[in-house]
Amino acid sequence: MVTKLALLGAGRIGKVHAKAITTDSRAKLVAVVDAMAGAAEAIAREAQCKVSTIDEVLADKTIDAVIICTPTNTHADLIERFARAGKAIFCEKPVDLDVARAEACAKVVEETGAKVMLGFNRRFDPHFQAVHKAIEDGRIGKVEMVTITSRDPGPPPAEYIKVSGGIFRDMTIHDFDMARFLLGEEVDSVFATGSVLVNPEIGALGDFDSASIILTTKSGRQAVISNSRRATYGYDQRIEVHGSLGSAAAENQRPVSIEIANADGYTRPPLHDFFMTRYTAAYAAEITAFIDSIENNVAPSPSIKDGLIALKLADAALKSATSKTAVTIG
Q: Provide the whole-model pTM.
A: 0.95
Q: pLDDT per residue over 299-325, tens digit each?
A: 999 999 999 999 999 999 999 999 999
CATH numeric code, 3-119: 3.40.50.720
pLDDT at 318: 98
Give the 3-state DSSP-derived string for 97-133, with helices as H, strands as E and coil as C.
Answer: CCHHHHHHHHHHHHHHCCCEEECCHHHHCHHHHHHHH
Q: Please, which residues bridge with residue 228 across strands?
A: 151, 210
CATH class of 123-282+309-328: alpha beta
Secondary structure class of 90 (helix, strand, coil): strand
Residue 1: pLDDT over 90: no
Closest residue by Cα to residue 269 from 284, 259, 283: 259
Tell me which residue of 287, 277, 271, 280 sits closest to 234, measured CA to CA.
Answer: 271
Q: 88-129: per-residue pLDDT in tens?
A: 999 999 999 999 999 999 999 999 999 999 999 999 999 999
Model pLDDT for residues 60-85, shown as the tens digit of each residue: 999 999 999 999 999 999 999 999 99
The residues facing 191 across adjacent strands are: 214
Strands (E), the chain: 3-8, 27-33, 50-51, 65-68, 88-91, 116-118, 143-151, 187-195, 210-217, 222-228, 236-243, 247-250, 260-262, 265-267, 327-328
Convert the pLDDT of each residue in 7-17 to its tens digit: 999 999 999 99
CATH 3.40.50.720 domain locations along the chain: 3-119
Q: Give the bridge partners for 203, in sequence order.
A: none
- For 225-237, give the secondary structure using H, E and C: EEEECCCCCCCEE
236: Cα separation from own chain's centroid:
16
| Domain(s) of CATH 3.30.360.10: residues in the chain | 123-282+309-328
d(CA 161, CA 166): 6
DSSP code, position 172: I
Distance of CA 165 to the CA centre of its chain: 15
pLDDT digits (tens, 9 = 90+) for 263-309: 999 999 999 998 989 999 999 999 999 999 999 999 999 999 999 99
What is the structure's pLDDT at 330?
76
